[in-house]
Amino acid sequence: MKIAIDGYELGREARGVGRVIDNILMPLVDLLPQDEFMIYTKESIGKYSHPRASEHVLTYCGGYLRWQNGPLRRALRRSEPDILLATNYILPLVNPWKSVLFEHDISVISHPEWYPHKYSLPRRSLIKRSLKKATRVVVPSEFTKKETLASFNLNPEKIKVIYYGVEDKFRRAHQDKVLAWKEKKGLTGKRVVGYLGSIFKRRHIPSLVRAVSLLRGEFPETMLYVVGKDLSGFQPGEMARILSPEWVRWEETLPEEEITLFYSAVDAFAYLSEYEGFGFPPLEALACGTPVVLLRSSSLEEVFGHVAILVGHPDEREVAVALRTALTNETERGRLLEKFDQKRAQFSWQKTARELARLLQGLKSA
């Protein structure tokens, strides 16, 4: 069987969609020893070397839709795959091939107000069309499956829930390295609440700042460390003002090699997001031995509810109480982290690849 993979989002430092496919790809090749894989990318990556996996760089011509419906579709017509892994939410406009469509979330359907109208309107149409035409659809949570079924008239059997994983590199860093990094960042002797991720309105950073401010009344050494680009849509300069207190440290990015140090160095991790298809940052923090405070919403309660401290609303007083527990209650911290350690195998990329391999094998025999 020939399996074609839309690798547009793959890259040397893959993020988001690219990261999901990067972690699944080579385990999937090993799990399907009779099959041939054709990986179509927009740039030369050179990391998917395998006798049955070939990387094909297709000329990039400005924008995903143009690439997908131009160079990629022409390449697919030449290779005639048995199955297309459509990894990036939508199918080519003309798609005669069996296809497995990855729908990482449907926020543009559920919350079009979060997106520019000129983007959300055509995107909604493309997703609807793709979901209808796909042979099978992969989603990362039961929440996303239920939301998709509520929005579209689809057979529930068409949608397969496959949880994503966490890379092995996310482990608690050695204490000496953590202490040195904290000193470098001016965090020595501080209680630190961390946040990492793009800054959207739905992640309630202003509420988090107010909650930490309340905590400082009891624990004046408490700091907030925010890592993420401001995509909130607030007025220019507003987020900088919100994050301006001297006890807040804000950096837009961290070098890849420092992210594990960040998660290991903060004493609690807060992610007050009201919408996530899955939620990588809380998983990474837990994998590095840091307790998390999450909003009881979307996929977060489903995926992490048994290993996290949950709040019902992004109210600063409720959040402050939860953060106090995460920072000071050693019994609860230990219980949650031990529970996560027992469940960590559920968040294995190898497990994700096995479930996808079984799905593909089922399509082969169908």
12-63 pLDDT, tens per residue? 777 889 999 999 999 999 999 999 999 999 988 888 888 999 999 998 778 9
Return the amino acid letter for 127.
I
Q: Please give the angle made by the CA atoms of 21, 259 and 188, to the nearest 5 degrees.
A: 165
Average pLDDT over residues 81-101: 97
Please compute, for residue 209, the number of CA atoms within 13 A of its CA located in the half-sphere on the CB side: 18
What is the C-alpha to C-alpha distance for residues 158 and 162, in angstroms, rounded to an integer?
A: 13
Q: Edge-to-edge, what's the strand order for the sheet holding 309-311?
A: 248-251, 222-227, 191-196, 268-271, 292-295, 309-311
Name the helix (H) or strand (E) containing 31.
helix 17-31
| Dihedrals phi, psi of 51, to nearest 5 degrees | -55, -25
Q: For residue 62, how many other CB atoms are within 10 A of its CB?
A: 8
Which amino acid is it at 205? I
Closest CA to 47 of 22, 71, 20: 22
User: What is the reported pLDDT for 325?
Assistant: 97
* Confidence label for 352 from pLDDT (cuts 50, 70 and 90): very high
Dihedral pair phi/psi, residue 28, rounded to 5°: -65, -40
Tokens of 22: 């990067």
CA–CA gap between residue 182 and residue 184 (Å, rounded): 5
Query: In the chain, what are the domain boundaries?
Result: 2-165+348-365, 175-346
**Structure-block tokens of residue 223:** 């700091």
**Verdict on whether the full-model pTM lies above 0.75:** yes
3-state secondary structure 116-165: CHHHHHHHHHHHHHHHHHCCEEEECCHHHHHHHHHHCCCCHHHEEECCCC
CA distance to 9, 191, 219, 299, per residue, from 278 (Å):
18, 28, 32, 6
Could you tell me which residues are beta bridge partners of residue 117? none
- What is the share, in percent, of the chain residues with pLDDT greater than 70? 99
Read off the pLDDT band of 3 (50, 70, 90): very high
CATH topology agreement for domains 2-165+348-365 and 175-346: yes
- CATH topology classification for 2-165+348-365: Rossmann fold (3.40.50)
Question: 35 is written with which tokens?
Answer: 């099959």
> How far apart are the C-alpha atoms of 335 and 331, rounded to whole Å?
6
Mean pLDDT of all residues in the chain?
95
**pLDDT at site 230:** 97
CA separation for the pair 25, 98 (Å, rounded): 19
- What is the structure's pLDDT at 242? 98
Give the other-Cβ count within 10 Å of 172's Cβ.
14
Segment 108-159, tens digit of pLDDT: 999 999 988 888 899 999 999 999 999 999 999 999 999 999 999 999 999 9
Pairing assessment for the beta strands 191-196 and 268-271 based on DSSP bridges: parallel
Range 349-359 average pLDDT: 97
CATH class of 175-346: alpha beta
